[in-house]
Structure 1
């Protein structure tokens, strides 16, 4: 018996499953990725990766899904809107509706990010990166005069309406001439400072100085 060819809608949903699988693997474990088949609103969930909401395959669609089913003119992409998981955790969500050739919504891809995970990470990084300003100690591990070199480079680039890392070879040679004349290259580790600020190697700096 000849196998029935898949319909356009079935192909779209199947392709969306593959996309969801890839996104789920990429953004695990922070992002829940869900595929809704809007042809069956009562059992729309056909795939769910990195399950953060506790839903299951076969569960019903969301309010956004119902809105798309009712109105083909509903926005196809709603990005970064505030949401909340069933247990109260804050989330950031993006919902993408998929239409067939007739202009009707067939499916939706939804991504839900658990913001509490990032909130905790942000707090830890803030604590780790914090300093005790009350100690009253100001120290730098870079050579004296390093800021003066960077400032001159920034000023030179600004005159050319560009950035230090976008300077061309000829412009770098002019810059090195100015730094030499100003005495900046006499500062300890000057070549290293210039190289880091320009995003080039020290060998390039030495070559530009010739």
Structure 2
């Protein structure tokens, strides 16, 4: 069995070898392409290499909620290919996230390819209108994804998006929906990030102790705790 040190060297080597690959992919597709290499051993600053510029991230930046979802799934995570999302600035982005595994099968990072297809989508809409067909707006809109160099902004966006879907403030949520919020954030890998529980508490305007209590209750599967923290 490989030692911890040899596995760390192996992971370092895989990431280093992917650097030229990222540069090559970005150069092939041009200015609409961005390739990001993530090292999940440092979740708060997972971006270790960036080629191209679509989401505005830099080395030392944070993962998006997509990365958090991969992190939450751990070694069960699989590749997520050819999905659409939208940046906060309105860009339509087609992406693929390919997990990185070491020789023991442990997921430790990801290679992400992002293509800005905004102009392509606009051209398709125009051509569809000229041809008399319904545009892509008739379908489901891609979800908005927060891409940022600051992990706090990503956590805040996830909390805010959940509250927006509920059309409620934290104070307006009943106990079941509060637990649902914490369960949803946990499933998305938010609490795998260091200090995320404190960040969520601040965003919701509750104490850290209350946030830990809600998280503990949300994770419980066979008990119904009494009381409701404030």
TM bucket, shorter chain: 0.5 to 0.7
Matches within 5 A, 1:62-101: 62-70=64-72, 71-75=74-78, 77-101=79-103
Structure having greater relative contact order (Cα 8 Å, sep ≥ 6):
2
Shift in Å, 1:123: 6.0
In the alignment of these two chains, the number of paired residues is 124
CA contact (8 A) 1:31 1:114 kept: yes
The equivalent position to 1:43 in structure 2, one of 32, 42, 45, is 45
Looking at structure 2, the residues matched to 86 and 52 of structure 1 have their Cα atoms a distance apart, in angstroms, of 12
1:12 to 11, 14, 22: 14
Runs of 4+ with deviation above 4 angstroms = 121-124
Unpaired stretches in structure 2, ≥5 consecutive residues? 132-230
CA contact (8 A) 1:35 1:107 kept: yes
Residue among 53, 56, 79 paired with 1:54: 56
Secondary structure, aligned partner of 2:111: strand
State the alpha-carbon separation in 2 of the partners of residues 65 and 92 from structure 1: 15
Q: Which runs of 5 or more structure 1 residues have no equivalent in the other structure? A: 131-210
CA RMSD in angstroms, aligned pairs only: 2.6
**Structure 2 residue aligned with 1:140:** none
Measured against aligned partners, the alpha-carbon deviations of 1:19-45 in whole angstroms (never above 9, x if no partner) come to 111101111112211111111111111
Task: State the Cα deviation string for residues 59-108 of structure 1 (Å, max 9, x = none).
Answer: 11122323333321111x11111211231212111100010012111221
CA contact (8 A) 1:13 1:106 kept: no
Provide closer, same or farther for how the CA distance between residues 119 and 69 of structure 1 changes in structure 2, counting only shifts above 3 A.
Answer: closer
Give the Cα separation in 1 of the matches to 2:49 and 2:71: 19
**Do the aligned residues in 2 keep the contact of 1:45 with 1:60 (CA within 8 Å)?**
yes
Q: Is the counterpart of residue 106 in structure 1 residue 102 in structure 2?
A: no
Q: Distance in 2 between matches of 1:18 and 1:38?
A: 20
Q: Is contact 1:32–1:111 with CA below 8 Å preserved after alignment?
A: yes
Cα deviation code 1:89-143 (max 9, x no counterpart)? 121111000100121112211111112121344467x49x98xxxxxxxxxxxxx
Q: Distance in 1 between matches of 2:29 and 2:50?
A: 13
